[in-house]
Amino acid sequence: MPTPLLALDIGSYSVKMAQLAPGRPPKLEVLASTRTTPGTVRDGEVLDPLEVAECIRELLAATGVRPGAQVITAVGGPRVNARAQSFPPMPTARLRQTVVWEAEKWMPPPIQDCVVEPQLVGERVTDEGRVQDVVVVAAPKSAVNSQVQAIESAGLRCVAVDVEAFALLRSLIYASQRTDLFVKTVAIVRLGDSYSDITIVRRGDYVLSRHLPVAGTTFTRAVAQGLSLNHAEAERKKEYNGVAVTEPELAGLSPEEREVSSVMMREMDDFTRELRLSINYYQTHYQDSAEPAAIDEVLLTGGSSMLRNVDTYLSRALGVPATVVNVFDSLAVDTREFDPRYVKLCAPSSSVAVGLALTPHLGQYQFAVDSSIFGVVMERRQRAS
């Protein structure tokens, strides 16, 4: 029986905590979140580990989780990269060395400041012979180390660090009760607070993930500037009155909704354009003569996906169905312990935390299961040089 891990998703807007008990489906045991102190986390990197540790301790006190619990967390953001590549079959030690040389070709220098790890997906036979399908993950050491420091400063033990994109695969694809997702090409679009991303999954396999510069703060800033409000006021206006619409649809809104939504339209156009560029990149670089590189469906998640009408807006703009996913639909949730309204409210922002908590139950696509092995290849190389 798998040992439950306490999942912590540390974001610029909030810290999310989740834990699942074994079962079919897994049962929700812990769910909580708290606002991150502004300025302590930016673009996926913890800038003030001690302040973030204090936020984590608040969650421990509220949930009754004891210090010393085993934690899994995740890194993400514009400086984290994961690429699917193929290699000839080789021992694990050699593969870990080989992926470092490969990462040097596409990661910004210096590569010695990055954690580079392989995720072996499987093997297959091609015209040239047998190959290993591998996802090569590279992340700044500072992003990994700062997360671990914050968690351990809160009195917890970080035993695993994953990648946000892999956590999303587990919570939205592998744990889903929808079997059709394993025969489709799906775009997981996460609308976050400080950044967003798109992850392409083809027949259940990771293909690529791309950073999107438009996020929740982008819309908040547009409301603040357009209506001459401070950040907090603009955030409230966006949450209560913001609607994702095109210009012809403004007439059907209330005066308050029209005022807020009109100043957000340019940013919504930018977000749609970024999504189209990413989809076009996939279609250009991953076109298969035997199978068109078409996106069948968009799965929406992330806290900012709660913006009203965003699913309908993107469905029309992209020409494919777009759905906001409730990650708790695939779990056992005791309504005597968790208010269904609270669970539904938390769902969009909990997809990474739930995906991390699912690791012992599913396990697919783990960045690394032991933070002590991070960067081993690069450290050996530096000592030898």
All domains of the chain in start order, with CATH: 177-324 (3.30.420.40)
Q: Helix or strand or coil: residue 110? A: coil
Rounded to an integer, the average pLDDT of 348-372 is 72
Give the global pTM.
Answer: 0.90
Rounded to an integer, the average pLDDT of 275-302 is 86
Closest CA to 11 of 32, 53, 42: 42
Q: What is the dihedral of CA 307, 62, 65, 345, to 10 degrees?
A: -20
Rounded to an integer, the average pLDDT of 54-66 is 95
Rounded to an integer, the average pLDDT of 88-110 is 85
Query: Is it the case that residue 36 has pLDDT exceeding 70?
Result: yes
Q: Please tell me whether the peptide bond between 292 and the residue prior to it is cis, using omega within 30 degrees of 0.
A: no
Task: Give CA–CA dist 240/236, Å, rounded.
Answer: 6
Tokens linked to 171: 């919570």
The model's pLDDT over 202-254, given as tens digits with 9 standing for 90+, comes to 988 889 999 999 999 999 999 999 999 999 999 999 999 999 999 999 999 99
Instruction: Tell me the pairing of strands 297-301 and 70-75.
Output: unpaired
Q: Helix or strand or coil: residue 69? A: coil
Query: Is it the case that residue 120 has pLDDT exceeding 60?
Result: yes
- Confidence band for 374, pLDDT divided at 50, 70 and 90: very low
Closest CA to 350 of 157, 190, 207: 190
Closest CA to 15 of 38, 27, 32, 28: 32
Task: Give CA–CA dist 125/137, Å, rounded.
Answer: 24
Lowest mean pLDDT among 107-111, 113-117, 169-173: 107-111
Q: What is the pLDDT of residue 370?
A: 43
Would you say 188 and 301 are in contact if contact means Cβ atoms under 8 Å apart? yes
Lowest mean pLDDT among 260-264, 265-269, 272-276, 380-384: 380-384
For the stretch 160-195, what's the b/e string if a residue is b when 16 or more beta carbons lie within 10 angstroms of its beta carbon? bbbbbbbbbbbbbbbbbeeeebeebbbbbbbbbbbb
Distances (CA, A) of 383 to 112, 199, 332, 376, 379: 12, 36, 50, 11, 6
* Percent of all residues in the chain with a pLDDT value above 90, rounded to a whole number: 64
